[in-house]
Amino acid sequence: MSDFLKIEGLKAQIDADGTPKEILKGLDLTIPKGEVHAIMGPNGSGKSTLSYVLAGREDYEVTGGSAHFKGQDLLELEPEERAALGVFLAFQSPVELPGVNNANFLRTAVNAVRKARGEEELDAVSFLKLAREETSRLSMSGEMLKRAVNVGFSGGEKKRNEVLQMRLLKPSLAILDETDSGLDIDALRIVAEGVNSLRGPDFSSLVITHHQRLLEYIVPDRVHVMAHGRIIHSGGPEVATLLEKQGYKQFLEAAA
């Protein structure tokens, strides 16, 4: 049972102004336990859609195929149940929650998943200690904990806040949707380190990116090329280098 995440023939569509638009068109992907896989693909190929469908966003309708995680039918679960099971999505565009204190949000989230996982809830003091450790590890200012969730955060701050949430929620499957975009090289290193230090036999990750640069810091076990709602090629880390040099063209032609 080393297949941790198993996606078979996954099809999903969205209602685009009344007409259904198919975005995922029979996608297959398997991530074994403890592995980090990367997905690269042109804009509009459906990468974010895949991440949303895995996290349980309801406006995407699954019309075929399956997705199992830890042997459970993922598609049957509510988003919060998936979170409890260990699925975490770092959003490409993190959402602002006006007036909701970040520290409070984080603590409530952490305790919600801890409770659902049958773990003991953290009191305010031990949570704050943990949160301070993690913010300084990510070179975030402690001020960020006092502000409203993502409100007025810079692009880079929002991404770091996602990584902070990931580290606090301790997922077993972290999906990072273009977490590197908008980050300078120092921030990129810090974020990569934030992911790498979680790597281990119980942590798998799906890293969605446009740039090979991130994969120099988070070295993936496998790289998948996605186009038109499907995985059209899979290989080792060398695929990323190849893509960076030659673009998607050859893969698209080979798949056609």
Partner 1 sequence: MPAVSETREAVEKLAKSNYEWGFETNVEMDLAPKGLNEDIVRLISARKKEPQWMLDWRLKAFRAWQDMSEPDWAKIKHPPIDYQDAHYFAQPKKKSGPKSLDEVDPELLRTYEKLGIPLHEQEMLAGVEGAGQKTPVAVDAVFDSVSVATTFRKTLAEAGVIFCPISEAIIEHPELVKKYLGTVVPVADNFFSALNSAVFTDGSFVYVPKGVRCPMELSTYFRINARNTGQFERTLIIAEDQATVSYLEGCTAPQRDENQLHAAVVELVAMEDAFIKYSTVQNWYPGDENGKGGIYNFVTKRGICKGDRARISWTQVETGSAITWKYPSCILAGKGSVGEFYSVAVTNGRQQADTGTKMIHLAPDTRSTIVAKTISAGQSDSTYRGLVRMQPKARNGRNFTQCDSLLIGDQCGAHTVPYIESRNMSARIEHEATTSKISEDQLFYCRSRGFSEEEAVGLIVNGFCREVLKELPMEFAVEAQKLLQISLEGSVG
Where do contacts with ligand ADP occur on this chain (CB under 6 A)?
14, 16, 21, 23, 41, 43-49
Q: Which of the ranges 41-49, 57-65, 134-142, 237-245 carries the binding residues for partner 1, by CB under 8 A? A: 57-65
Binder of partner 1 out of 1, 16, 95, 125 (CB under 8 A)? 95
Query: CB-wise, 18 or 201, nearer to ligand ADP?
Result: 18
What angle, rounded to 10 degrees, do the helices at 155-169 and 124-137 form? 130
Spatial separation of the C-alpha atoms in residues 141 and 230, rounded to whole Å: 40
Amino acid at 18: G
Asked if 113 is part of the footprint of partner 1 (rule: CB under 8 A), the reply reads yes
CA angle 104, 207, 68 (to 5 degrees): 85
Span interacting with Mg ion, options 91-99, 140-148, 157-165, 240-248, rule CB under 5 A? 91-99
Among 2, 19, 43, 99, binds partner 1 (CB under 8 A): 99
Looking at the chain, the number of H-run helices and the number of E-run strands are 10, 10
For every residue of 188-256, DSSP letters joined together read HHHHHHHHHTT-BTTBEEEEE-S-HHHHHHS--SEEEEEETTEEEEEE-THHHHHHHHH-SHHHHHHH-
**Which window, 65-73, 101-109, 118-126, 235-243, contacts partner 1 (CB under 8 A)?**
101-109
Q: Does 48 bind Mg ion (CB under 5 A)?
A: yes
Q: Does 124 bind partner 1 (CB under 8 A)?
A: no
Residue with the two structure tokens 């685009």? 16
Residue 105's binding partner among ligand ADP, partner 1, Mg ion, none (Cβ under 5 to 8 angstroms by kind) is: partner 1
Tokens at 114, concatenated: 């801890």
* Residue count, binding to partner 1 (CB under 8 A): 33
Sign of CA dihedral 43, 48, 49, 51: positive
Structure tokens at 137: 């590890």
Q: Is 80 in the site for partner 1 (CB under 8 A)?
A: yes
In the list ligand ADP, Mg ion, partner 1, none, the entry touching 23 (Cβ below 5 to 8 angstroms by class) is: ligand ADP
**Site residues, partner 1 (CB under 8 A):** 52, 55-59, 78-80, 82-84, 88-89, 91, 94-101, 105, 108-110, 112-113, 116, 148, 165, 169
